[in-house]
């Protein structure tokens, strides 16, 4: 299958372009920017996109120069265009343009389907091309902003890629289709058959276990393994005690009565409560919960044969950014083998499979909920009493959202319990909700006033510890949903 390779020097831009291409049925593969040519099978690679930021600096950009000898078309974006110019003997001028819309003038000497924009948002430096490069596009006062190799299909473009801009999208797709001649053969639903066959081959003659959390990823991974090995699959579900009201029971019921899989329930509520009882910092809570989950799974797997395989629902996003604080990819330093059937799929592709597999809506549309769960909704120590309070408050808020038919309009919603410093054992409650948006920074959902009024009244009625302060948080939130 044809594919486009993205050399990643900027996480957000790389993922945005990869997702856009995959949505257009072109397979895009992201690799670290410093990836060596010899470490990649480029037989079916049709082109390379070097994806940088727009800092106007080449700091941190180190590219294997052998990429320019492969004969593959190359598109260097943002700061990578500066690096490209430098690698071919060019220099950057003193001219600097920062987030300004500029009229684009193209060189009459170069014919290219990348001449897509008459105006573009520019963030970069003026370029003085070396001997093997020439200016491809100018902005005001003949400032060279984009370059092209004199003989090869190698471009450096400093126009800012904007996800919702048709001209930006056309620039990328024209490079992929017209210059790279890449075919649009990617179909994630057809790929499911490949995943099932791969899982079957991987599982032959082994005991197979799948760690499940109640989320969509682990549900899809379980479904794939069920198609591959049938009843030989056993699911492992660890009840941390940090789930929402009745959620652990619903998860157990889904795997038992809908997927009809054997599921091993590990009641570890006391273990997790003890692990974080003195912890106030949320980052430490996350680390401790992940550590305990790994220890419990390790202990469970050591009861099995040495050839046992543990399946996880970790997706492409988890694998690409394993240093993220909330990453839940299980450590590879264990004594048993891990298998990640969804490791090459973005979240939106996993969702397509979930829909194709006809999984229930409450699994497909489950709101983001990390392993540390409700413990992160409590500022300070997550005592059993506070967990009980926040679980009930979340249930009240959720019920009102469902009664108002707002569930599918929201990316996520949450509650937070904050102690009042000046009053012992008294709290304020923060409600929060973010819309399903394609913007990196998302503003609070405009929640109906009667909904907020109902939640506030019910919370204060049920909990004497909450006095006066039930608040709705209007501050913007970073929308990681669009990166998944």
Tens of pLDDT, residue by residue over 134-161, are 999 999 878 999 999 999 999 999 988 8
Q: Does the pLDDT value for residue 323 go beyond 70?
A: no
H helix or E strand, kind and range, residue 47: strand 45-51
* 353 band by pLDDT with thresholds 50, 70 and 90: very high
Dihedral (CA of 108, 111, 112, 117) sign:
positive
Judge contact between 342 and 315, C-beta under 8 A: yes
Q: What is the C-alpha separation between 345 and 399, in angstroms, rounded?
A: 32
Max mean pLDDT among 90-99, 185-194, 361-370, 435-444 falls in: 185-194
* Stronger pLDDT, 293 or 336, i.e. the higher one: 293
pLDDT cut 70: percent of the chain above it:
95
CA 198 remoteness from chain centre: 24
Q: Does the pLDDT value for residue 59 go beyond 90?
A: no
Q: Which residue has the tokens 């499940």?
A: 212
Q: Calculate mean pLDDT across residues 299-321.
A: 86
Q: What is the C-alpha separation between 463 and 427, in angstroms, rounded?
A: 10
Q: Does the pLDDT value for residue 27 go beyond 50?
A: yes
The per-residue pLDDT for 326 is 37
The per-residue pLDDT for 325 is 36
Q: Which residue has the tokens 């790389």?
A: 14
Q: What is the C-alpha separation between 313 and 280, in angstroms, rounded?
A: 29
Say which residues have a Cβ less than 8 Å from residue 125's Cβ, sequence separation at least 6: 56, 82, 92, 93, 95, 96, 97, 158
* 479 band by pLDDT with thresholds 50, 70 and 90: low
Say which residues have a Cβ less than 8 Å from residue 142's Cβ, sequence separation at least 6: none
Q: Does the pLDDT value for residue 35 go beyond 80?
A: yes
Q: What is the C-alpha separation between 479 and 439, in angstroms, rounded?
A: 7
Q: Does the pLDDT value for residue 60 go beyond 60?
A: yes
């Amino acid at each position: 299958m044809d594919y486009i390779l993205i050399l990643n020097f900027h996480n957000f831009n790389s993922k945005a372009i990869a997702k856009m291409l995959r949505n257009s049925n072109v397979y895009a593969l992201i690799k670290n920017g410093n990836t060596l040519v010899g470490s990649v099978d480029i037989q079916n690679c049709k082109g390379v996109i070097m994806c940088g930021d727009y800092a106007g600096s080449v700091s941190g950009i180190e590219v294997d120069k052998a990429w320019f000898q492969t004969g593959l078309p190359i598109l260097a974006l943002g700061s990578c265009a500066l690096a490209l110019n430098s690698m071919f003997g060019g220099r950057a001028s003193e001219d600097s343009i920062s987030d300004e819309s500029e009229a684009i003038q193209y060189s009459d000497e170069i014919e290219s389907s990348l001449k897509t924009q008459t105006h573009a948002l520019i963030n970069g430096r003026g370029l003085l091309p070396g001997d093997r490069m020439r200016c491809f596009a100018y902005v005001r006062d003949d400032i060279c902003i984009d370059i092209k190799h004199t003989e090869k299909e190698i471009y450096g473009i400093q126009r800012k890629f904007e996800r919702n801009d048709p001209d930006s999208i056309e620039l990328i797709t024209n490079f992929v289709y017209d210059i790279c001649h890449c075919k649009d053969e990617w179909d994630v639903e057809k790929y499911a058959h490949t995943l099932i066959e791969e899982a079957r081959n991987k599982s032959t003659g082994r005991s197979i276990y799948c760690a499940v959390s109640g989320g969509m990823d682990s549900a899809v991974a379980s479904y794939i393994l069920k198609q591959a090995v049938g009843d030989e699959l056993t699911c492992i579900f660890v009840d941390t005690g940090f789930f929402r009201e009745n959620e652990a029971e619903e998860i157990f019921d889904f795997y038992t009565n809908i997927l009809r899989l054997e599921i091993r329930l590990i009641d570890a509520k006391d273990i997790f409560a003890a692990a974080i009882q003195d912890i106030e910092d949320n980052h430490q809570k996350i680390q401790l919960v992940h550590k305990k989950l790994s220890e419990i799974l390790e202990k469970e797997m050591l009861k099995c044969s040495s050839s046992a395989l543990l399946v996880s629902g970790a997706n492409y996003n988890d694998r690409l950014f394993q240093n993220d604080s909330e990453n839940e990819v299980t450590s590879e330093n264990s004594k048993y083998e891990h298998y990640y059937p969804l490791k090459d799929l973005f979240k939106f592709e996993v969702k397509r499979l979930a829909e194709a597999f006809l999984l229930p809506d409450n699994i497909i549309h489950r709101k983001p909920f990390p392993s540390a769960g409700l413990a992160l909704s409590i500022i300070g120590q997550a005592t059993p009493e506070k967990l009980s309070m926040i679980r009930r408050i979340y249930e009240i808020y959720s019920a009102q959202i469902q009664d108002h038919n707002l569930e599918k309009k929201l990316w996520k919603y949450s509650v937070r319990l904050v102690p009042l410093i000046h009053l012992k054992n008294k709290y304020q409650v923060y409600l929060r909700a973010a819309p399903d948006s394609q913007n990196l920074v998302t503003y609070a959902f405009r929640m109906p006033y009667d909904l907020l009024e109902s939640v506030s009244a019910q919370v204060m009625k049920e909990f004497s510890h909450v006095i006066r302060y039930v608040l709705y948080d209007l501050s913007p939130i970073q929308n990681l949903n669009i990166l998944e």
